[in-house]
Amino acid sequence: MSDGRKRRLSGCPIDYALDFFGDRWTLLVIRDLLFGGKRHFKELMESPERIASNILTARLKKLEERGLIERRSDPDNRKQVIYTLTDKGRDLAPVLVEMVRWGGRHDPNSLCPKSVVTRLTRDNERLLADMRAGMADAVRTVKARARR
């Protein structure tokens, strides 16, 4: 069912959206590409949620087939592959932002700074830039925590 060929869609945009990312991993990959400044398989593997390599491969394949990301090999280093979001993929930013606001409001253990969460979505451009920076910090915190 992962390829969405068997289930018949209802016509509801939420059902359509879930057919793309109604699982535990896809939006984390998109988060990393959108806010984390990541482009390589290896970088995606290093996120704190520790996705398995076979799952990552499957998600990247599906996302490419369905037009949310593009895959090309790095001209400077032919053993690297560069993954980038398409417009359709980048368009998911507001969904992720609302998830951050929800999670940030309701998760007492969130590592995400309240300032990011409470800021209104109005100034989206600045917010996204801050999330990018804030995420690098959070990743550092998690790594430091893991070392202990």
Partner DNA sequence: GAGTTAACTTGCAAATTGCAACTAATAATA
Partner DNA sequence: TATTATTAGTTGCAATTTGCAAGTTAACTC
Site for a copy of itself in 19-48 (CB under 8 A): 22-25, 27-28, 31, 47-48
- In the bound state with a copy of itself, the residue whose beta carbon lies nearer, of 60 and 116, is 116
Q: Using CB under 7 A, which of the segments 12-20, 21-29, 94-102, 109-117 binds DNA?
A: 21-29
Site for DNA in 54-93 (CB under 7 A): 54-55, 57-58, 60, 71, 77-81
Q: What angle do CA 30, 31, 32 make, to 5 degrees?
A: 90
Q: Rounded to an integer, what distance in angstroms lies between the CA atom of residue 134 and that of residue 104?
A: 13
Q: Which of DNA, a copy of itself, none sits in contact with 41, Cβ below 5 to 8 A by type?
A: DNA
Residues 6+ apart with CB under 8 A from 110: 103, 104, 117
Number of H helices, E strands in the chain: 8, 2
Please select the residue that binds a copy of itself; options are 91, 123, 126, 133, rule is CB under 8 A. Answer: 91
